[in-house]
Amino acid sequence: MEVDPSGKGFEINTGKIPILLSLKRIQELKPHEETVATDLRGIVTTLERDPMLRHPIIADSATGAVLDGTHRLTALSQLGCKTIPTALIDYQNPLVKVDRWFRVITGEKLSDFMKRVEDRTTPLPIPASQSDPSLLSRSSYATLCDQSECFTFASHGSRALEACQNAFQIEEMARNNHLKIAYVDNDDLRELSMNAFLMSTIRVEKSEVVESCASQKLFPPKSTRHLIPSRPLGLAVPLAMLKSDNYSEAESAFVQHVRSKHIRRLPEGSKVGSRRYLEEVFLFE
């Protein structure tokens, strides 16, 4: 495997997509989603206890749009860091895709939850087979389904941000009623328990992600699920390096740090730590 350093960082050019590992100024990067307060606090606490960023975030090289790592970016900013290790990719590469997360909501039957929802809005029953088409056409902003019934929430426009915000209100209603929410990558109703139902949302387009970054009008958390075919892991960069006010020195130290690592290319489906990755991984050790 040939991995060559470039003038701006460290370039990985043997994967499914080119990746440039670079030390970016935090102020140059643009999130497109809001953070979850509890998740953010957990990351800040972990970094305070062990001041080392283990994995780079992923961002678009052209616009600075953060595609993966919004919570880490915000956590480092709160901890006084000036820079962050970033895997820069071409967001417009057709191998980079935007999908969505499905919400499995557990702790209440759908019929009981609908009684709460109907106090605020007017959902309509639909066949489960029409759930996805209504979302992809954006005639709906969300659907709730279990194994016996399905409801749609009609959209009054095609704006992605508004649709995701409306869907997030339903999610928050479930959370405020102490229901558990798990994010999954499929809409298989057969896997649901008797006391659970599935929430589906629209799919956001790349252009809408970039527009969100430019306007600083952020989507709710977990509005997008980016599928990136190659992912670098394991840089383990100390936060002291990221707090330096001297960018050129920090950048040079970062490149030297990365070059000191041994790199393993792992195939799709490999397990790193407790997580299994669907994409290929470049593991820095």
**Same domain membership, residue 227 and residue 138:** no
Residue span of the structural domain in which 111 resides: 101-202
- CATH number of domain containing 131: 3.30.70
Q: What is the mean pLDDT of the chain?
A: 93
**Percent helix, percent strand, percent coil in the chain, to nearest 5:** 30, 30, 40
pLDDT in tens, 115-124: 988 766 789 9
* 223 has pLDDT over 50: yes
**Same domain membership, residue 223 and residue 86:** yes
**Same domain membership, residue 60 and residue 136:** no
Q: Edge to edge, what strands does the sheet with 102-106 contain? A: 124-125, 150-154, 140-145, 196-201, 102-106, 180-184
Given 147, 174, 202, the domain boundary residue is: 202
Question: Contact 240/249 with Cβ under 8 angstroms?
Answer: no
- CATH number of domain containing 256: 3.90.1530.10
Given 175, 202, 229, the domain boundary residue is: 202
Give the pTM: 0.92
Q: What is the pLDDT of residue 119?
A: 66
Place of tokens 């998740």: 39
Question: Contact 231/212 with Cβ under 8 angstroms?
Answer: no
Q: What is the pLDDT of residue 7?
A: 57
DSSP structure class, residue 280: E
Domain count across the chain: 2
Mean pLDDT value across residues 158-176: 94
**Beta strand pairing call for 57-60 and 83-89:** parallel
* 77 has pLDDT over 90: yes
Given 138, 170, 202, the domain boundary residue is: 202
pLDDT in tens, 20-48: 999 999 999 999 999 999 999 999 999 99
**Same domain membership, residue 214 and residue 188:** no
